[in-house]
């Protein structure tokens, strides 16, 4: 009898096209929950904090692909460089340079996505489209050995407004289509629990789903001391 999480993963995978990759977003979830997903066949997990991801990597089977999906501080890249499978959230040239440096040190070429700002909200991280093309056309990127850019990531506005979401995903899909062949892109990472069906309809090749698989996240209470 498969466990409840394994069943949810199976049901979700049956809903999505086989060429779309499911990243199980396991941030804040304990090891035993991740193990249940693993037992259900899931091998790709997404985390948003380097320390938490490193701890889970150390404790869980080594054939898991660990994806960093959250904002990364450059001084912490070294902790994930030995094992991270994909960094979704490259939102500055400075960060890309540090990933390249740490990739070289570890004799690795670390796959990266450039995070494009598509949401209307102020606080979301990401590059503008012209920043993306400036990075892609730079001499630095032409000579990178420790990192490689394999596509784009975007986070839509947190809203139920389907028209707004469609506008944001479509604009990113068009941009991705323009870059795909010249830059040999393979991956467009868009879509979360609330919006993945629409994201897939609008070109996503990789969805990042957390709460729809694992339930709502509980964050530790802030200390009042």
Applying CB under 6 A, the residues found at the interface with ligand PLP are: 25, 27, 48, 69-70, 155, 192-194, 208-212
Q: Report which of 36, 45, 39 is spatially closest to residue 66, judged by C-alpha positions.
A: 45
CA distance linking residue 81 with residue 159, whole number of Å: 34
Smaller CB distance to ligand PLP: residue 70 or 82?
A: 70
Smaller CB distance to ligand PLP: residue 24 or 64?
A: 24
Q: How far is the CB of 167 from ligand PLP (least distance, A)?
A: 19
Contacts of 39 (CB under 8 A, 6+ apart): 2, 3, 6
Question: For residue 40, which phi and psi values (nearest 5 degrees)?
Answer: -85, 5
Smaller CB distance to ligand PLP: residue 88 or 147?
A: 88
Helices (H), ranges, the chain: 4-15, 31-39, 50-59, 77-80, 93-105, 129-136, 139-142, 162-180, 196-201, 211-214
Token pair of 223 as six digits: 């200390």
Q: Residue 93 CB: number of other CB atoms within 10 A? A: 15
Q: How far is the CB of 66 from ligand PLP (least distance, A)?
A: 14
Tell me whether residue 124 is exposed, middle or buried, using C-beta atoms within 10 angstroms of its C-beta: 0 to 12, 13 to 18, 19 or more: middle
Smaller CB distance to ligand PLP: residue 141 or 209?
A: 209
Q: How far is the CB of 208 from ligand PLP (least distance, A)?
A: 4
Q: How far is the CB of 115 from ligand PLP (least distance, A)?
A: 9
Chain residue at closest Cβ approach to ligand PLP: 210
Smaller CB distance to ligand PLP: residue 144 or 207?
A: 207
Q: How far is the CB of 77 from ligand PLP (least distance, A)?
A: 17
């Amino acid at each position: 009898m498969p466990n409840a999480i394994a069943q949810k993963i199976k049901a979700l995978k049956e809903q999505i096209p086989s060429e779309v990759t499911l990243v199980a977003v396991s941030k804040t979830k304990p090891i035993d929950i991740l193990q249940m997903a693993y037992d259900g066949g899931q091998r790709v997990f997404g985390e948003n904090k380097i320390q938490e991801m490193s701890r889970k990597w150390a404790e869980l089977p080594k054939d898991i692909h660990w994806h960093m999906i959250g904002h990364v501080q450059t001084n912490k890249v070294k902790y994930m460089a030995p094992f991270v499978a994909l960094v979704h959230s490259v939102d500055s040239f400075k960060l890309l340079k540090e990933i390249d440096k740490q990739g070289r040190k570890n004799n690795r070429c670390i796959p990266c996505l450039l995070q494009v700002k598509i949401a209307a909200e102020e606080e979301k991280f990401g590059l503008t489209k012209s920043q993306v093309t400036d990075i892609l056309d730079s001499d630095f990127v032409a000579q990178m050995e420790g990192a490689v850019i394999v596509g784009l990531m975007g986070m839509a506005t947190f809203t139920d407004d389907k028209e707004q979401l469609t506008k944001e995903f479509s604009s990113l899909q068009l941009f991705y289509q323009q870059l795909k062949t010249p830059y040999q892109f393979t991956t467009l990472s868009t879509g979360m629990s609330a919006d993945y069906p629409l994201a897939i309809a609008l070109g996503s090749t990789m969805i990042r789903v957390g709460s729809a698989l694992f339930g709502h996240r509980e964050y530790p209470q802030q200390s009042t001391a």
